[in-house]
Amino acid sequence: MQALMKTAAAPGLVLQEVAEPEFGSHDVLIRIHNAAICGTDLHIYKWDAMAQSYCHPPLIIGHEFFGEIVAIGDAVQGFHLGQRVSGEAHIGCGYCRNCRSGRSHLCRVNDALGATRHGCFAEYLALPAGNVCALPDAISNETGAILDPLGNATHTALQFNLVGEDVLITGAGPVGLMAAAIARHVGARYVVISDISPYRLALAREMGHATLALDLRTANLPDAMKQLGMREGFDVGLEMSGSADAINQMIAHMNHAGRIALLGFLPVTTQIDWSRVIFKGLQLQGIYGRQMFETWYKMVSMLQSGLNVSKVITHQFHFTEFEKAFALGISGQSGKILLRWQ
Ligand SMILES: [Zn+2]
Ligand SMILES: [Zn+2]
């Protein structure tokens, strides 16, 4: 089969012919239809320090996919050939304290598709059946390929109750944009999203879920709050930018007793004004991956009940055009980019 691989500890990727994956008695074999490019894939492509810390070539990369089941291991029950599926990219060990307590997204030895084991940028993927998620017909083949990042958005946005709350989302990348859609779907009052990328703010406005999309180079949060008639501050913050400046602006404009969910990777040099966190009684919660499998249940249900994030997919390429797709991803002038594998 054709697969997109990291073949050496250096920048770039290679499309090459490899053997179809072997699958065990507890696995299913999935024919990939669409796969989506994630920030993680861009890190691996560029071969930056973060990617070097966990990725050991040779490796088929990619972890966001939609496909159909074409073979089923002997011990697997509950799936059928031709079934439309996506799947969870994090594979827990099954034996540690968190795995055994239903928190396998916090497994200490998590295996990850396309990062520590072969991923989905290929014609076929073998995946443990426990990680496979069958999709209802209401979810399109395209949206089916972005459930991994939609799951990040869902896990973060549903960390705190948003009903009737004023929500600040810092970072209008694909996950921030989808978090805005979820906040709107579940009944937030105001949803303010901020970024410094004109492309992404334009996409936020086009998607139409945010009350305001703020360019922090020319606008500021006090003016936005005044415009909305907000007197006290934001109730919930969703930090999705990984920007030290953004998290400090967020902390400064939270209401007392505000709650912040942190998804973006902040640089280790980030300085936080801790006195504000303490005096305001803020709650800060780190978010990793997707809850297995409560997040999957919730996002599928929300997609069936009117949540629509399809506009976050802005580009599609055939997998042979991967160089073009990755260059576009690195440019930042896109939402989600799909690779077609059929
Ligand atoms: Zn991803
Ligand atoms: Zn574990």
Query: What is the model's pLDDT at position 84?
Result: 98
pLDDT tens column, 184-218 = 999 999 999 999 999 999 999 999 999 999 999 99
Per domain, the residue ranges of the chain are 2-149+290-340, 160-286
Distance (Å, rounded) from C-alpha 182 to C-alpha 178?
6
Q: Kindly give the distance from the C-alpha atom of residue 293 to the centroid of ligand 2, in angstroms, as a whole number.
A: 14
Q: Is the peptide bond before 58 cis (omega within 30 degrees of 0)?
A: yes
Considering every ligand atom shown, identify the ligand nearest to the alpha carbon of residue 175 and give its number.
Answer: 1
Distance (Å, rounded) from C-alpha 10 to C-alpha 243?
27
Residues whose CB is less than 8 angstroms from the CB of residue 258 and which lie 6 or more positions away in sequence, other chains included: 233, 234, 235, 236, 237, 280, 282, 283
**Helix, strand, coil percentages for the chain (3-state, nearest 5):** 30, 25, 40
Query: What is the model's pLDDT at position 249?
Result: 97
Residue of 7, 26, 43, 118 marked active site: 43
Considering every ligand atom shown, identify the ligand nearest to the alpha carbon of residue 111 and give its number.
Answer: 2
Considering every ligand atom shown, identify the ligand nearest to the alpha carbon of residue 41 and give its number.
Answer: 1
Query: Which sign does the torsion angle of CA 192, 234, 308, 187 carry?
Result: negative
Distance (Å, rounded) from C-alpha 211 to C-alpha 195?
14
Q: Kindly give the distance from the C-alpha atom of residue 1 to the centroid of ligand 2, in angstroms, as a whole number.
A: 31
Distance (Å, rounded) from C-alpha 41 to C-alpha 36?
9
| DSSP assignments along 104-123, one per residue | GGG-TT-EEBTTTB--SSBS
Nearest CA among 260, 207, 271 for reference residue 233: 260
Neighbours of ion ligand 1 (CB under 5 A): 38, 148
Q: Kindly give the distance from the C-alpha atom of residue 90 to the centroid of ligand 2, in angstroms, as a whole number.
A: 10
Query: What is the model's pLDDT at position 337?
Result: 98
- The reply to whether 160-286 shares the fold of 2-149+290-340 is no
Query: What is the model's pLDDT at position 3?
Result: 98
Q: Kindly give the distance from the C-alpha atom of residue 292 to the centroid of ligand 1, in angstroms, as a whole number.
A: 15
Considering every ligand atom shown, identify the ligand nearest to the alpha carbon of residue 336 and give its number.
Answer: 1
Q: Kindly give the distance from the C-alpha atom of residue 35 to the centroid of ligand 1, in angstroms, as a whole number.
A: 10
Residue 268 three-state SS? coil
Q: Kindly give the distance from the C-alpha atom of residue 149 to the centroid of ligand 1, in angstroms, as a whole number.
A: 5
User: CATH homologous superfamily of domain 2-149+290-340?
Assistant: Medium-chain alcohol dehydrogenases, catalytic domain (3.90.180.10)
Query: What is the model's pLDDT at position 237?
Result: 99
Q: Which fold has domain 160-286?
A: Rossmann fold (3.40.50)
Radius of gyration of the chain (CA): 20
Catalytic residue check, 40: yes
Q: Kindly give the distance from the C-alpha atom of residue 223 to the centroid of ligand 1, in angstroms, as a whole number.
A: 34
Considering every ligand atom shown, identify the ligand nearest to the alpha carbon of residue 36 and give its number.
Answer: 1
Q: Is the peptide bond before 234 cis (omega within 30 degrees of 0)?
A: no
Distance (Å, rounded) from C-alpha 339 to C-alpha 13?
14
Distance (Å, rounded) from C-alpha 195 to C-alpha 173?
8
Catalytic residue check, 154: no
| pTM confidence score | 0.97
Q: Kindly give the distance from the C-alpha atom of residue 287 to the centroid of ligand 1, in angstroms, as a whole number.
A: 14
Q: Kindly give the distance from the C-alpha atom of residue 66 to the centroid of ligand 1, in angstroms, as a whole number.
A: 13
The pLDDT profile of the chain, 342 residues, written as one tens digit per residue, is: 999 999 999 999 999 999 999 999 999 999 999 999 999 999 999 999 989 999 999 999 999 999 999 999 999 999 999 999 999 999 999 999 999 999 999 999 989 999 999 999 999 999 999 999 999 999 999 999 999 999 999 999 999 999 999 999 999 999 999 999 999 999 999 999 999 999 999 999 999 999 999 999 999 999 999 999 999 999 999 999 999 999 999 999 999 999 999 999 999 999 999 999 999 999 999 999 999 999 999 999 999 999 999 999 999 999 999 999 999 999 999 999 999 998
Residue of 7, 26, 33, 40 marked active site: 40
